Amino acid sequence: MRILFLGDIVGRSGRSAALDALPGLRRDLKLDFVVVNGENAAHGFGITPKICTDFYEAGADALTTGNHVWDQRELISYIDGDARLVRPANFPKGTPGRGAAEISLPDGRKVLVVQVMGRLFLEPLDDPFQALEDILSRYRLGATIAAIVVDVHAEATSEKMALGHAFDGRVSLVVGSHSHVPTADAQVLPGGTAYLTDAGMCGDYDSVIGMGKDVAISRFTRRVPGDRLTPADGEATLCGVFVETDDRSGRALSVAPLRIGGRLRQAFPEGWRNTKAFRGDSVPPYPP
């Protein structure tokens, strides 16, 4: 199975880039399943029902969120009715929405998408390790479920790595979100789980983690209230991770970062360098 995970969508720039690219990426990478983190898609803060629909129509199979999930209040009444939209599983009992979504492919295979949120430097939520254990106890990779994707929305790299190793061999992919900066440690762990500490954001990297530089810098240098943070609106880099899994075991065969457009060095899965997926027929300058 070929799976693509796109990191945090930030603002209009990141949203437009991802929506433009998804149909071509599905075609050219022959993708079976796409997960998009829509955490910052609505002007940098949360996601709306309309944006969810836009991503499903563009080719996303599931959406994850994070600590900004309730920033758009209309999502509170919407989330229970969207079976493909996932919020952190370790939110308190009784929180609207779901922490895991089991999604069927047209060929009958099923993929489980789970999100947990870290506790280091974030809200003091329930234990993400136990929350993930509780969910995975109902599934067996390669038997009852074809693939399992886990989005770890966390600040600390150590917490993300610990979760990756703790569940190595039991899931297809553990990928970090929230930091908005892509890491260089894509690997298949010893037990067969693909891992990446952070997929990075889909947004303008001429910014401070996707937000306009001036206001962001002012918040660090002046301790007085200032303007509201707004997303940078320059050309976006599309950041994510591509995983290919074994159809029998559900474990990863390979993992590769994906970066297209914008300011960062381009990266694409080996063997797919000549794709025309990004912005119609324009071919990005992939490295040789």
Distance in angstroms (rounded) separating the CA atoms of residues 181 and 247: 31
DSSP state letter for 178: S
Question: Among residues 210, 170, 165, which one has the least CA distance to residue 185?
Answer: 165
Could you tell me which CATH number the domain at 2-260 has? 3.60.21.10
> 287 phi and psi, to 5 degrees?
-65, 150
Q: Supply the DSSP string of 93-120, one letter for each residue.
A: TT-SS-SEEEEE-TTS-EEEEEEEE--T
Query: Count of CB atoms within 10 A of residue 273's CB?
Result: 13
Active site residue 153: no
pLDDT 10s digit of each residue in the chain, 288 long?
999 999 999 999 999 999 999 999 999 999 999 999 999 999 999 999 999 999 999 999 999 999 999 999 999 999 999 999 999 999 999 999 999 999 999 999 999 999 999 999 998 999 999 999 999 999 999 999 999 999 999 999 999 999 999 999 999 999 999 999 999 999 999 999 999 999 999 999 999 999 999 999 999 998 787 889 999 999 999 999 999 999 999 999 999 999 999 999 999 987 665 455 444 444 444 332
Neighbour count for residue 100 (Cβ, 10 Å): 20
Active-site residue (options: 43, 68, 153, 180): 68
Apex 124 CA angle, 118 and 128, nearest 5: 40
d(CA 76, CA 260): 33
Given strand 252-260, what is the order of strands in its sheet?
A: 85-86, 62-64, 33-37, 2-6, 238-245, 252-260
Q: What is the pTM of this model?
A: 0.93
Domain ranges of the chain: 2-260
